[in-house]
Amino acid sequence: SGRTVRLRDNANHVELHDLEIRNSGNNCVDLGVADDVLIEQSAIHHCLRWSGGGPSDAHGITGDAPTNLTVRDTEISFFSGDAFQFSPSRQFWDKVLIERTRMWIAPLPEDAGDFKKGEVYGENAFDSKTPKSGARPRVTFRDVVAHGFRGFIGNQSAFNVKENVDF
């Protein structure tokens, strides 16, 4: 029911290679306030949270204030929130690089707890939340594929870039 990988505050200089991170009842990877994290050649999927009788936010990768995060050669799918969401608490995050990564949603191939086979869950490939003022967080996407983001929520998009972000 919890997070599959949770790097709490000051969990710095972490490298995650060649992993399958799956079957979380919440966020699959939660970075908190971490610096210099590399996630590479991994599969992150089935980050599905059911709360209050329906799907609730569970992200592939999230964090309150990650800095110097690189995600490369990774696939993120089947989540009930976003593939990436920074920062739910609206703290400053910065220097995020996502490259050669595929983010997608599609009908579930089988039931997963309260989530039903054939249904599509998931919000956005990328969703930004930032402090109302101050420095602008920076995120770079290179050679990425994002698909399937339609119809689950009203403001759904592959890249939901809002507020104070250099994208």
Overall pTM surpassing 0.85 (yes/no)? yes
- Are the CB atoms for 13 and 45 separated by under 8 Å? no
Residue 83 CA neighbour count, 13 Å, CB half: 28
Q: For the chain, 167 residues long, give each residue's pLDDT as a single digit of tens.
A: 778 899 988 899 999 999 999 999 999 999 999 999 999 999 999 999 999 899 999 999 999 999 999 999 999 999 999 999 999 999 999 999 999 999 999 999 999 999 999 999 999 999 999 998 999 999 999 999 999 998 777 778 899 998 899 99
Q: DSSP characters for 62-98? A: EESS-EEEEEES-EEEEESS-SEEE-TT----EEEEE
| Residues paired with 85 in a beta bridge | 62, 127
Task: Give the CA radius of gyration of the chain.
Answer: 15
Residue 98 CA neighbour count, 13 Å, CB half: 22
| Residues paired with 14 in a beta bridge | 37
